[in-house]
Amino acid sequence: MQDIRNIAIIAHVDHGKTTLVDKMMLAGHLFRNDQTNGELVLDNNDLERERGITILSKNVSINYKGTKINIIDTPGHADFGGEVERVLNMADGCILLVDAFEGPMPQTRFVLQKALQIGLKPVVVVNKVDKPNCRPDEVYEMVFDLMFSLNATEDQLDFPVIYGSAKNNWMSTDWKTPTENLIPLLDAIIEHIPAPKQLEGTPQMLITSLDYSSYTGRIAVGRVHRGTLKEGMNITLAKRDGSLIKSKIKELHTFEGLGRKKTDAVSSGDICAVVGIDGFEIGDTICDFENPEPLPPIAIDEPTMSMLFTINDSPFFGKEGKFVTSRHIQDRLTKELDKNLALRVRKSELEDGKWIVSGRGVLHLSVLIETMRREGYELQVGQPQVIFKEIDGVKCEPIEELTISVPEEYSSKMIDMVTRRKGDLVSMETQGDRVNIEFDMPSRGIIGLRTNVLTASAGEAIMAHRFKCYQPTKVR
């Protein structure tokens, strides 16, 4: 039985997750010596490369000292939180990556909270210690305080810390003594992250993500929770709504390096891709043919923002794209629902060719629109609007936690701008020559705020926000 470790890499936007995975793949000798690998190997679609962000979570595996390490790279933006929540179920531990200057940011808190609730063991990596005026020791204290405030267990609080610079390809247990490679980090993973438990019994696998191949159709990806899956095996697919469908596994693949390798059987604890099952959704369970026992499905946060999508009926109809009819757009949105868990699509009852598409935020929806545009779809979109809910007879709206970090001289402008949009100041702290300001703010106030904030602060502001909760609508 091969020794396995399953780890997810979680962090705030731009703290260096994908760069770290690149260097870990180099350390695992995934590239031949004469092979020139580009930067950010995992951000492989055009949109991710242009925006410099990770949108879809991906897995690769490396071999180190006879141990197979499955690495899951996750997105940092709160809008793609559905993507993160899903894949954390596949991991046994996580690498929490924190910038040595910025420290834990709102998104760090969001993903760390999810990871600690599932019971993952963290390894903290303080990255970018080569930056001028960084403060690794302070950041370590801040991470500890954050974990404590998120009710981490004693075992989770006893986390190892590795300092280093992923870009310069070194990690060390002491940030003042740089090393030549990432070996201290890989050793810490093998030592501190638990191996998956081997559960014997009837097979169970929760489908946590999807892949698509034009040859074999939809492919289910997930981690085998219990028992062993074999090629050609008869299984039952347990749906979210409780219905059971009999099916058969045609092929099994495990992740090897950047690609996949066909295999005969996969035992509990490993991550695999299953080919040949029809009609599955994310959150369904593959279980035994005779005695099906489904696993609890994945709970995903509800969407907070919606937009109207319509067919293009302007005079310039058909100039840009090749898919212009309502049938094309309907099919494309249905296909997106298959793999985009946090998205909802509702067809307008009043008119044909109109859909209300709801997602986790403006970025989530804009990435969908841009992807569709590049694929040759032509459509019109309305303004983004927040989704109101009625809770106990009171009209409520989504509230977000907004953090703005600016040089001190611009702080009053920021506070003025946010409070005019119904934001409440929660805290304000000075770090060096910059001020970190925290607000609670309605989601509708954040639409279009970023450009104004950057203009008012001469491009110096760093702004981040994440959904917090629903609260009664602010009228003032």
The two structure tokens encoding residue 23: 């260097």
Q: Is the pLDDT of residue 1 over 70?
A: no
Chain segment 389-430, per-residue pLDDT in tens: 888 888 998 888 888 888 889 989 989 999 999 889 998 888
- Domain 204-288 coded CATH 2.40.30.10: yes
How much is the pLDDT for 86? Answer: 73
Burial class of 132 by CB neighbour count within 10 A (0 to 12, 13 to 18, 19+): exposed
Instruction: Check: CB of residue 28 under 8 Å from CB of residue 116.
Output: no
Q: Is the pLDDT of residue 31 over 70?
A: no
Chain segment 192-213, per-residue pLDDT in tens: 888 888 888 888 898 887 777 7
Partner residues linked to 163 by β-bridges: 126, 172
Domains 305-386 and 394-472 share a fold: yes
Q: Is the pLDDT of residue 52 over 70?
A: no
Predicted structure pTM score: 0.75
How much is the pLDDT for 185? Answer: 86
Q: Is the pLDDT of residue 182 over 60?
A: yes
Mean pLDDT computed over 337-355: 81
- Strand 228-230 to 234-238 pairing: unpaired
CATH class for domain 3-192?
alpha beta
Instruction: Check: CB of residue 81 under 8 Å from CB of residue 360.
Output: yes
**What's the Cα-to-Cα distance from 41 to each of 24, 37, 339, rounded to whole Å?**
11, 7, 22
Chain segment 347-358, per-residue pLDDT in tens: 887 777 889 999
Q: How confident is the model at residue 54 (pLDDT cuts 50, 70, 90)?
A: low
Between CA 201 and CA 226 the distance in angstroms is 6
Lowest mean pLDDT among 263-277, 278-292, 313-327: 313-327
CATH class for domain 394-472?
alpha beta
Lowest mean pLDDT among 36-45, 71-80, 94-103, 106-115: 36-45
How much is the pLDDT for 215? Answer: 79
Chain segment 457-476, per-residue pLDDT in tens: 888 888 877 778 888 987 75
Q: Which of 363, 337, 344 lies closest to 450, judged by CA?
A: 363
Q: How confident is the model at residue 152 (pLDDT cuts 50, 70, 90)?
A: confident
How much is the pLDDT for 117? Answer: 85
Each domain of the chain, given as residue ranges in start order, spans: 3-192, 204-288, 305-386, 394-472
Q: How confident is the model at residue 234 (pLDDT cuts 50, 70, 90)?
A: very high
Between CA 449 and CA 418 the distance in angstroms is 8
**Residue percentage of the chain with pLDDT more than 90:** 5
Q: Is the pLDDT of residue 36 over 50?
A: no
Mean pLDDT computed over 449-457: 89
- Strand 354-359 to 217-226 pairing: unpaired
Q: Cα 383 to chain center, whole Å?
A: 25
CB neighbour list of residue 42: distance below 8 Å, 6 or more residues apart? 18, 21, 22, 54, 58, 60, 73
Mean pLDDT computed over 73-84: 68
Give the fold, CATH level 3, of 305-386.
Alpha-Beta Plaits (3.30.70)
Instruction: Check: CB of residue 87 under 8 Å from CB of residue 73.
Output: no
How much is the pLDDT for 33? Answer: 47
**Residue percentage of the chain with pLDDT more than 70:** 90
The two structure tokens encoding residue 151: 């009710």
**What's the Cα-to-Cα distance from 78 to each of 336, 346, 397, rounded to whole Å?**
19, 23, 18
- Size of the chain in residues: 476
